[in-house]
Structure 1
Amino acid sequence: MHASPWIHRSFTAPFTTTGRSALVPPPPWHYAGWLLNVAFRFDAAAAAALVPPAAGQATGRGCVHFADWQATTDGHELLDPVMAQYRETIVVLELERPDGSRCMYCPAIWVDQDISMLRGLLQGWPKKMGSTWLTRSLPLDHPAAAPCRAGSRLGASLAVKDRRVLEARATLTGRPGLPLGFLAQPTIGAVGWPDLRQPRQLPEITLLRADIQGRVGGDWFDAEATLHLLPHPAEDIGLLGELSAEQASAGWLGITVTGALDV
């Protein structure tokens, strides 16, 4: 006896005939957010444990992005903000590709929203749960607003499993800033899913690049920053060792992810 085909409408689990409860709907995914970006130097050899050789070799430069995002598909999430808003910390490392070109690679990223976590895993951004906090800049001339002008001070932190991992402090200089990290260079990630029917076989890794369209904003504000990486018992990002902050910027950005491309 053969079962008749079951028509579901879910892009991701759970699979139902309505598709309403699927954790993530298909792209396009629209994002808008406020970011504090801190570029850093590190010992390039330390990245060998975090970067697939096929992706390239680390140059010793990287960036941490602390982000406060709002995301939507068709606009309905904006009417129910618990579905739209989240914060995350993104670490990207600059690589020299086998063909000599440069790109960024994401070895670690932490988020506080399950929807965003699954969207990231599908794109090759290895998201885990974590708690990100960062100072918001508001368009007010007020002591609590941290307006985008010289002298305003910003802070950001990441905690994973109740332990601090990253801390940043920044002071805006009043000068125009630069796009840094994934804002300035194409960024790739790794996708790999295990098969529990073969639990002793590790997944094969596929390199992908998110197909990003419709970028708006990006008038960045320059900052001087410090960055500290703290020891953590379960996070391999500590293998990078000491991070030395080079440049920093803050500002707003809007992008749309329409899918992913092979690298």
Structure 2
Amino acid sequence: MTSRYSYTPPFAPRGRAGVAPTPPWHYAADFLTIAFEASQEAVAAVLPKGLDADAEDGRVLCTASFAAWQACTDEGDEFLDPSRSQYSECLIFVGARLGDEAVFHCPYIYVDSDLSMVRGWLLGYPKKFGNVHTTRAFNLQSPAAPALGPEGRFGGTLALHSRRLAEGTVSIEHEAEPDAPIFGSRPIIGRRHFASLYEGEQGAPAIDELTRLRGENFQISQIWEGAATLDFNESPTEDLDLLGPVKVLRGYRYSVAMSNRYNIRVENLRASA
């Protein structure tokens, strides 16, 4: 039997068993984002070479987002098998500078899908498995459907290894300003890092590079803003709590859609080591 091309392992005969399919990948998601401040030292500790903390008075603007995604390829067959197309995620972004440009970098991200995790590693997101939940909104008036507008209350939670790692809430007050610090408000610089297992090379990764995530056809809904809470809890396996938060700012509820076909290499860290 002739093998067809598979974008990622396993490379099975029919070419369809690969964990992540060939790009382009198309996404839509409901986001609950909470802006917060972390210390400059804590942010600097999670930034790769080539990025500096975007600090003011020793503090850095960061965000924690709880997102419910739906994704597909050009064929769109995933819609008929929602277990393949839907997943939930918790994303942490820290403010950084790439030269004179203000960007976001993602040092921590947790997801409940192996497809999304492998796709994230290819993109430059350091994804791990986690258990993420967010409050749902419905186009109905019901006690079980919080208003997607003033007085709507939304929450997000992240658990890892049966431990609550992060939790946040947003109580919507009004529509947000266009410059709200949400997903897509700054360019995202990821780090593609793949270790080497060859003798004498474990300290020299096979791939280590900064990459700019390139979104196409980016769309965003109305953005709602309100008072927020955010807590990161200690864990024997995680360092998320080192980011604080020093101060919780505001929360945002919105939806986004975009496509991703390829990234742009910013710097080969392995070559410059």
**TM tier, smaller:** over 0.9
**Structure 2 unaligned regions, length at least 5:** 267-273
For 1:239-254, what aligned pairs fall within 5 Å after superposition?
239-254=242-257
Q: Does the 8 Å contact 1:229/1:243 carry over to 2?
A: no
2:27 matched residue in structure 1: 31
Match of 2:18 among 15, 22, 34: 22
What amino acid maps onto 2:143 in structure 1?
P
CA distance in 2, matches of 1:243, 1:30: 35
2:121 matched residue in structure 1: 121
SS in structure 2 of the partner of residue 42 of structure 1: strand
What amino acid maps onto 1:140 in structure 2?
L
2:46 matched residue in structure 1: 50
TM-score with structure 1 length normalisation? Answer: 0.93
2:168 matched residue in structure 1: 168
What amino acid maps onto 2:10 in structure 1?
P
Q: Does 1:133 align with 2:150?
A: no
Q: Does 1:211 align with 2:207?
A: no
CA distance in 1, matches of 2:112, 2:190: 20
SS in structure 2 of the partner of residue 246 of structure 1: strand
TM-score with structure 2 length normalisation? Answer: 0.89
1:190 matched residue in structure 2: 191
Does the C-alpha gap of structure 1 residues 242 and 249 become closer, same or farther in structure 2, counting only changes over 3 Å? closer
Shift of 1:7: 5.2
Q: Does the 8 Å contact 2:36/2:61 carry over to 1?
A: yes
CA distance in 2, matches of 1:134, 1:224: 17
The 10-residue stretch of structure 1 (210-219 or 31-40) with the greater mean CA deviation from structure 2? 210-219
**Identical-residue share of aligned pairs (%):** 32
1:76 matched residue in structure 2: 77
Does the C-alpha gap of structure 1 residues 177 and 168 become closer, same or farther in structure 2, counting only changes over 3 Å? farther
Shift of 1:176: 3.4
Q: CA RMSD in A?
A: 1.6
Q: Does the 8 Å contact 2:25/2:72 carry over to 1?
A: yes
Shift of 1:46: 1.1
SS in structure 1 of the partner of residue 136 of structure 2: coil
The 10-residue stretch of structure 1 (109-118 or 192-201) with the greater mean CA deviation from structure 2? 192-201
